[in-house]
Chains A and B, each alone.
Chain A
Amino acid sequence: MIDNACDWGVTTLLIFSENVGTLVYYTHMFPLLISLFLGLYVFLNNPKRHVNRVLFFVTLMFSIWVYFDLILWASPTPESVIFFWSLIVPVEMYIYLGALYLIYLFSTDQKDASLTTKILASLFVLPILLFAHTDLNVMGLSPDCDIGAHEGPLISYMYIAELVIIAIAIFVTARGYRRLTSDDSKKKLLYIGVATIIFLLFFSAGNLTLLFEMGPFYEQYKLFGMPIFAAVVAYTIVRYQAFRIKTVVTELLVAALWILLFSVILIQDMANARPIIGVTLIIFAILGFQLSLSVRREVQQRVQIEKLAEDLEKANRRLKVLDQMKSEFVSIASHQLRSPLTSIRGYSSMLLEGSFGKLVPKAKEAVERIAESSRFMALSVEDYLNVSRIESGRMKYEVSDFNLKEMAERIVDDVRPTAIKKGLLLTFKSSALSGRGVVQGDIGKTQQIIHNLLDNAIKYTQKGSITVAVFDNKTKKKVYVEITDTGVGMTSEMIHDVFEKFVRARNANKVNVTGTGLGLYVARQMAEGMKGSICASSAGEGKGSTFTLVLPMVS
């Protein structure tokens, strides 16, 4: 045993020594930093994903390996050479096993391996763990300081095991590529698989140079696989969102420039420039961090907005389905209500007409109320059915030509007794009609609209008059039915809302409590279904209203 086998100088942080050439630092520090950055970046972005953890493990083991290797280059004592040489062996085995695990996860679309597979794979490392402390691992310190240690049979075993693992990795990649169904997953596997295999091949090729005693110069190439691996992984992150990472370009750019600047510091010939580069490095680190942070924030916001839009679309689709279900429910329920209502109305009418004998006045009054209520209920049911038909697109229009002026006049005559009974003056007037008032539309539905508008006018007018005017506009090819009353009137806001579903004018309840808020909605939908329209105007509350039905004129 000796204390100092070779004439090595003092080291800083175990790795910085004047005995180590600049090239060694370049070949080691660059892959070490890239590896650490890549692993940490992927891991911190999505630490819960298994595949991210595995990549982090591989890069961490690789970084430890590189650090240990630098220690071996700069080691000042024989103990540290033997110790770290022995430790580097299991670390190297873990790099290979981790890389194989990474490929496996990509080959199964991130489905984890079974425990049995993991135990079988760990058998590769078992002999190394058992005999790492013995002289089967490192036989002893070589008298040649450049060679360092003399490797035992356990290290030869490791070299062979590594080649076997590479062969398994190639097999797993090929098998996974054949089995995967999605193109995206196939491409991810191809890129990650090939990059990992290249990385391992570089490593093993470096080991072989030692085996054939080609000298330490060629061994430096073994770490070159890591930058290639990192570049391909970065590409798959950007191109295929591998490891589920959304932002990377800015971070990679900042990291690459930072690593480049840091590497320049290591060149010993540039001792004078080091302070300047050091300051630049610090400034760049701060600014780069801020830049990455702002880009990340923007990307997160964009992702959030995309998610919200997606949620909104889903909610919208669900609402449409619910709305359709509601319409169907209303339709079914209304049909069920209509049949008993017909009986009630029929029998109450027969009772009032005396078909079952004369009724005493009190009974007649009660039956009259039944008849009136059932009439209103039938109208409401009809409104619900109409809404249901309109919303489900099942409303049918039987379009034909008819005289709107004559129809309006007839309806006015029909409802006049009701108006007179309420003490209102109902008048009809028509200006000279160039097209004689013939329009195109559904006769039944037009009647329903005019009836509805006129009923409303009577309901909401306590005193005064109602005027129905029919006129046309030959230029616009339209015929107008204008119903003007001196009733409760509306504010401009109420005019805007009154055609909406279930909306009633604020003051409507004062004069009529039985409305459903569907009449005007149905009327407008029907008018529009016949290529016409309905509009309303009013000078304000208490100043009466005007409702105008417009239908296309037949020229």
Chain B
Amino acid sequence: MEYIREHGTAFFYVALLLMTLVSGIATYYTIYVQKDYHVFTVDDFDDEGNLIINIYDR
């Protein structure tokens, strides 16, 4: 604990960097490996360009 207190800022930066890397890897995995992304069609929008489907309910 003492060591963590002394090097708190360094730990903070490393944690932030790791979180960013994990977030990036998760994004890559979701999109490139799982191919979990939506491709909307024109029918998904009304005449004014508003999305008429709720993607979160799917």
Contact = CB atoms under 8 A, between A and B. Distances in A.
Interface string B21-42: 0111011111110010111111
Given A1-B39, A5-B39, A143-B42, A90 B12 contact: no
Interface stretch (A14-22, A127-135, A425-433): A127-135
B31 A115 contact: no
A133 B55 contact: no
A549 to B, nearest CB: 75
A83 interface: yes
Contact of B39 (A78, A122, A213): A78
Contacts of A126: 19
Which has the most chain B C-beta neighbours within 10 Å: A82, A86, A130, A133? A133
Interface residues of A, number: 33
A392 interface: no
Interface string A139-161: 11111000000100000000000
Nearest to B21: A129
A83 B51 contact: no
Query: Which secondary structure characterizes the binding site on chain A?
Result: mixed
A360 interface: no
A67 to B, nearest CB: 15
Q: State which size class the interface on B falls in.
A: 20 to 34
Contact of B29 (A90, A130, A133, A150): A133
Given A118-B9, A122-B16, A90 B23 contact: yes
A115 to B, nearest CB: 5
A87 interface: yes
A5 to B, nearest CB: 6
Contacts of A90: 20, 23-24
A212 to B, nearest CB: 12
A49 to B, nearest CB: 16
Given A129-B20, A140-B55, A150-B51, A135 B26 contact: no
Given A79-B32, A129-B20, A150-B51, A86 B39 contact: no
Given A83-B27, A133-B27, A140-B38, 18 more contacts: A78-B39, A79-B32, A79-B35, A87-B27, A90-B20, A115-B12, A126-B19, A129-B20, A133-B23, A135-B37, A135-B55, A139-B55, A140-B39, A140-B55, A141-B40, A143-B40, A150-B40, A150-B51
Q: Can you list the 5 inter-chain pairs with the closest CB atoms, starting with the nearest?
A: A140-B38, A133-B26, A133-B27, A129-B23, A133-B30
10 contacts: A1-B39, A115-B9, A118-B12, A122-B16, A139-B55, A140-B38, A140-B40, A141-B39, A143-B44, A150-B51
